Copies of this chain bind each other. A is one copy, B any other.
Amino acid sequence: MVFVHTKTVSNQVDEILLERIREGMYLPGIRMPSESELSDEFGVSRATVRTALAKLAASGIILRKQGDGTYVNAHIHEASAQFGNLWDLVQLIEGNGYKPSIKFLTIEKRPACEKEALVLAIDKGEDVICLRRLFYADQQPVIFADNVIPYSLLKTPLESIDGSLHIREIFRNYFNQRIVFAITDIRSTVMDDLAGSYLSGGLGRSILQLQVVLYGRNNLPIATGVNIFDDAILRLSLAQAWF
Chain A residues close to B by CB (< 8 Å): 28-29, 58, 60, 63, 65, 71, 73-75, 78-79, 81-87, 179-190, 206-208, 213, 215, 217, 219, 221, 231, 235-242
CA distance A81 to B219 in the complex (A): 19
**Chain B residue at smallest Cβ distance from A207:** B188
Decide if A208 touches B186 in the complex (CB within 8 Å).
yes
Beyond A217-B65, A240-B84, A240-B85, whether A186 also contacts B186 by CB under 8 A is: yes
Decide if A238 touches B181 in the complex (CB within 8 Å).
no
Count identical subunits in the complex: 2
Decide if B74 touches A219 in the complex (CB within 8 Å).
yes
CA distance A234 to B49 in the complex (A): 41
Please give the distance in Å from A205's CB to the nearest CB on chain B. Answer: 9
Collect the chain B residues with CB atoms within 8 Å of residue A75's CB: 181, 183, 213, 215, 219, 221
Collect the chain B residues with CB atoms within 8 Å of residue A78's CB: 183, 213
**Chain B residue at smallest Cβ distance from A236:** B186
Collect the chain B residues with CB atoms within 8 Å of residue A74's CB: 219
Decide if A188 touches B185 in the complex (CB within 8 Å).
no
Please give the distance in Å from A234's CB to the nearest CB on chain B. Answer: 11
**Chain B residue at smallest Cβ distance from A209:** B188
Beyond A190-B206, A207-B188, whether A239 also contacts B73 by CB under 8 A is: no
